[in-house]
Homo-oligomer: A and B are copies of this chain.
């Protein structure tokens, strides 16, 4: 495999060929290109070029390309397709990918598209999948799987499996069901290679099989599949009937999206955006958090205004407010990030109380070390021991409070059923800025005896 590299030259060549309608050359040039690479190429073309190319190439290739494209690009391309042309693409796709595409189509053409799908069984399966919530195992699963009845003989079973395997891109497990379609167990592919074909199914299947319910959250499915190293998991409905299966490639996407979402929230970005999105989209994702920061900053200014009488004799206290705010913010972000990850990985044990005590001790340890540094530096700099002491002791208290807030808020949100990741970024920084500055002036006043 020569690794594919998307170059400006390749894009230019393709655009040239499209402009001159050199269809044969285009088909030849793109013949050996993997659909995931072709999707990268098409993401770089304009709508007309992309539409032209997809209509030109065979739908067994372009259908997979469509699933790989960015949502907005796919939608704009499909707007130029007739219902029949869309149905041709869907005919080639697995049911889960086909259902995802249909869910994005304008409502008025959905029915026509479905009626144009040639394979009735395929259409039925797709319609079935449309019913499930996108944010559930049902929304992730595909109908393609290999299943055998426990009452079959191995001969029937092998024959049936061959037929079923034709429609399944990858056979992971052979699921065993009873006459009511209830999931009973599985036959492993390894057993298939190593067991005599004379044995009856009922005697050879493995009754222990991991599964998830259709209503399970994608994150939970991801946790189960990665914990137990599963490459596919069957999905059952409320009656225990086998209704689909989820494969690890979809779960890899779930894991990556979850990680990106948490990362973006921690950075103060509220929607799923990419560097190449428009300035408008990026602004919508970023501005709300900046406004939150602005309000926090105005609050901090208000607090400092309230301590204005200290300005004449203790101006130095005001010079250190950015330091206090920064430390409160940093400690808060650190604490909350550790808690958010612990929650995500399910490895937080013990009570909230224990967590808070631990974080307090940790913050106190860090606080004392940092405060001693600050004491020495500011004392050497300004020569005023008492003010330096006031600064340093305030810093310790601010750090401890910041650690407690950073630990408590995500735990609290999680308890209330809210995604704790929203608490990691600007939210923690802003609230810690305000609390930090307030505590700082208050303690400094006490120590300085003002």
Binding site for B on A (CB under 8 A): 1, 3, 34, 36, 44, 161-162, 165-166, 168-171, 189-190, 193-194, 208-211, 224, 226-229, 231, 248-249, 251-253, 255-256, 259-260, 262-264, 266-269, 273-276, 279, 282-283, 286-287, 289-291, 293-294, 296-298, 300-302, 304-305, 308, 311, 315-316, 318-327, 329-331, 333-334, 336-339, 341-342, 345, 347-349, 355, 358, 361-362, 365-366, 369-370, 373-374, 377-378, 424-426, 429-430, 433, 437
Contacts and interface: CB of A to CB of B under 8 A. Distances in A.
A220 to B, nearest CB: 9
Contact of A293 (B269, B311, B330): B330
28 contacts: A165-B194, A166-B194, A170-B189, A170-B231, A226-B249, A262-B263, A263-B263, A263-B337, A263-B341, A264-B341, A275-B342, A275-B355, A276-B348, A283-B365, A287-B366, A290-B327, A293-B326, A294-B374, A297-B322, A297-B324, A298-B374, A301-B316, A304-B319, A304-B322, A305-B316, A318-B319, A322-B325, A330-B429
A42 to B, nearest CB: 14
Give the top 7 A-B pairs by smallest Cβ distance, nearest first: A297-B323, A267-B337, A259-B259, A275-B342, A301-B319, A229-B249, A304-B319
Nearest to A35: B228
A181 B447 CA distance: 77
A252 B226 contact: yes
A256 to B, nearest CB: 6
Residue among A274, A282, A319 having the largest count of chain B Cβ atoms under 10 Å: A319
A271 B334 CA distance: 12
B267 A334 contact: yes
A268 B85 CA distance: 51
A294 B323 CA distance: 6
Main secondary structure of the interface of A (DSSP, over half): helix
Given A274-B338, A326-B430, 19 more contacts: A36-B227, A165-B193, A170-B190, A248-B248, A252-B255, A260-B341, A262-B263, A263-B266, A266-B337, A267-B337, A275-B342, A279-B358, A279-B365, A297-B323, A300-B322, A302-B319, A311-B315, A318-B319, A333-B425
